[in-house]
Chains A and B, each alone.
Chain A
Amino acid sequence: MKKILLAAIIITAFAACKKNPVIPAADLGGGQVFDPSVYNPAKYLVSAANPTPNASDALKPVIIACHGYSATTFEWDEFRAWSAGRTDYFISQVLLAGHGTTYADFKAATWHNWQASIAAEYNTLVSEGYKNINFAASSTSCPLILDMIHAGFFNNTGTTVHIFLVDPIIIPADKNLSLIGILGPMLGYITSNNAPGEEKYYYHYRPQESLQQLQDVLNVARNELQDGFTLPKNVYLKVYKSIKDPTADPVSAVLIYNGIKTYNGGHIGIDLINSNIHVFTRLSLVPDVTARDKANQVYAFNDITTQIFQ
């Protein structure tokens, strides 16, 4: 028995040791391609672009747009492009910790680090005097923000905080993620099937450590939703969810809808979108985009930028 155990340990250790991928220099994670917000934060973060807002700007809505697991600020670039010419609100694109840089950074970051990037931009904006701060979150940023709500992060906010969740993930579509704690150490990393061009903006190699972090935050959010919680008085929450989603199972929307009540005890807002794209608001580099997909995207952008004024 001891020999079998020893052999199993040696095999596991050997399997785990050989897992460090060779990443092409042209791809994200290879050490040469970085998210542009790393070089030019003022172009992406409102807190860096305008750290001393005048009275008028301080009252304008700021939408903190935060991306999903393995992605970058690229995920919300189309929202910024669509908003070109609008001067009545600001978009602040946050890069989550460990993302948009190197494989080693990705491997080392925890979900608390990811969450801290969102909280840091919010806190900086508050300290700079911004009074109307909102969120547009996609995929993994959604459980991160839900956990912030649950932890009371927004309990003392003086103004309404609008939070829009686009294709939130609580339950992964790929159910093998549930086995990452067992299989991960043997695999080292897994690869993703990015579409052509996406390798510059989405990590191709996903270290098992970061996948375990993903599984952890999904479990945390799911358990919080199971117990149920109520939104603080000034927080408005709306979910947009593709009814078919190869990454974030649509049942995630059910768990959020059933798990959260508004301050008055009502249901949160929800829109089920007739789409089979994960993060249907990002169509750039998505193959075979249809007219319906474009209409869905515009619908969400219009709805978000209307709701923030209500």
Chain B
Amino acid sequence: MAGVNKSLTHAKNDTMKKGIYLMIMLAGAGLSCANAQSSVLDLGVRLQKTVNLYSENGIAVSYSDKGLLADRLYFGASYATSRLGTAFHSNAIKQDNYLVSAAWFFRRDHVIRPFVRANGGYFSASYGGKIFDVLPHSSPLLSSDLGISFQTGLPVKIATSLGYNFITGNGLSGPGTLFPVFYQLTVSWNLFDHAKINRHERLARKLKL
């Protein structure tokens, strides 16, 4: 009997907890809706490594507009360079990757979100001597990457992905250090996030998880 009472108490507590969450959610509905309609501007650091070649690091920015598939469709730009990676204080080739991208993030309002991204841009390498001007040292970039984004309790997003460059060097054309497969990690901060909204959002997510 005591066990039944205990169970009932637990059940009551659970119901109360859910009720409180629900109330908070409802109370914050306006804010949550506002957040759902607000834009996202992530600014962060991009750490990239090409399989069997260089690490290239830099910055990344991505933006999702409240009026255009908010928090699902992201447009971005990034700059990654071996100057801040393998070529820092070494004889590795100094090369720069300038990318613009469009990404689709699945599972909106979840902490862990898969995403797919298409990238285009420009690659440039510096060989450090006029004698090598005859060799190809720039190229368009065309790549795609698949990954997972993790939304932390802070307005910080951690996104990691595996990508494939469709354009690479082949000895006859294209820069020789443009390789096919890379992986990257981007840690970014949502500049449009507001602490209050974020608190309610986190509580809401606890229920969705």
| Closest Cβ neighbor of B173 among chain A residues | A244
Given contacts A173-B171, A258-B91, contact A179 B86 (CB under 8 A): no
Task: Give B3-43 as 1s and 0s: 1 = Cβ < 8 Å from A's Cβ atoms.
Answer: 00000000000000000000000000000000000000000
B188 to chain A, nearest CB (A): 28
Task: Determine the main DSSP class of B at the interface with A.
Answer: loop
Chain A residues in 8 Å Cβ range of B175:
251
Check B169 for interface membership: any CB of A closer than 8 A. yes
A185 to chain B, nearest CB (A): 15
- Which among B91, B93, B127 has the highest number of chain A CB atoms within 10 Å? B91
Whether the Cβ atoms of B170 and A215 lie closer than 8 Å is no
Check B69 for interface membership: any CB of A closer than 8 A. no
Whether the Cβ atoms of A257 and B129 lie closer than 8 Å is yes
Whether the Cβ atoms of B172 and A251 lie closer than 8 Å is no
Chain A residues in 8 Å Cβ range of B171:
172-174, 244-250
| Closest Cβ neighbor of B172 among chain A residues | A244
Check A227 for interface membership: any CB of B closer than 8 A. yes
| Closest Cβ neighbor of A229 among chain B residues | B91
| Closest Cβ neighbor of A270 among chain B residues | B131
Given contacts A173-B169, A173-B172, A251-B176, contact A243 B52 (CB under 8 A): no
| Closest Cβ neighbor of A215 among chain B residues | B52
Chain B residues in 8 Å Cβ range of A178:
50-53, 179-181
Chain B residues in 8 Å Cβ range of A117:
none
Bound CA–CA A228/B172 (angstroms): 27
| Closest Cβ neighbor of A260 among chain B residues | B91
Given contacts A179-B51, A255-B91, contact A246 B170 (CB under 8 A): yes
Chain B residues in 8 Å Cβ range of A175:
168-170, 178-180
Q: How many residues of B contact A (CB 8 A)?
A: 29
Whether the Cβ atoms of A226 and B168 lie closer than 8 Å is no
Task: Give A225-269 as 1s and 0s: 1 = Cβ < 8 Å from B's Cβ atoms.
Answer: 111100000000000000111111111111101110000000000
Chain B residues in 8 Å Cβ range of A247:
171
Whether the Cβ atoms of B176 and A219 lie closer than 8 Å is no
| Closest Cβ neighbor of A248 among chain B residues | B171
Given contacts A171-B177, A226-B91, A227-B91, contact A251 B169 (CB under 8 A): yes
Bound CA–CA A270/B127 (angstroms): 14
B181 to chain A, nearest CB (A): 6
Chain B residues in 8 Å Cβ range of A252:
176
In B87-104, the 8 Å CB interface with A consists of 90-93
Whether the Cβ atoms of B93 and A251 lie closer than 8 Å is yes
A125 to chain B, nearest CB (A): 32
In B129-164, the 8 Å CB interface with A consists of 129, 131-132, 134-135
Whether the Cβ atoms of B180 and A254 lie closer than 8 Å is no
Whether the Cβ atoms of A259 and B176 lie closer than 8 Å is no
Bound CA–CA A269/B50 (angstroms): 30
In B180-203, the 8 Å CB interface with A consists of 180-181
B207 to chain A, nearest CB (A): 26
Whether the Cβ atoms of B93 and A255 lie closer than 8 Å is yes
Check A272 for interface membership: any CB of B closer than 8 A. yes
B176 to chain A, nearest CB (A): 3
Check A156 for interface membership: any CB of B closer than 8 A. no
Given contacts A173-B171, A225-B91, A228-B90, contact A254 B135 (CB under 8 A): yes
A7 to chain B, nearest CB (A): 21
Whether the Cβ atoms of A243 and B131 lie closer than 8 Å is no
Chain B residues in 8 Å Cβ range of A179:
51-52, 180-181
- A-B contact list, 26 entries, CB within 8 Å: A173-B169, A173-B172, A175-B168, A175-B169, A175-B178, A175-B180, A178-B50, A178-B53, A178-B180, A179-B52, A215-B52, A226-B86, A228-B90, A228-B91, A243-B134, A245-B172, A248-B171, A251-B93, A251-B127, A251-B169, A251-B177, A258-B93, A258-B127, A259-B91, A272-B132, A272-B134
4 smallest beta-carbon distances between A and B, as pairs: A173-B171, A251-B176, A249-B176, A178-B52
Additional A-B contacts beyond A175-B170, A276-B172 (6; CB < 8 A): A175-B178, A178-B50, A178-B52, A226-B86, A252-B176, A254-B128
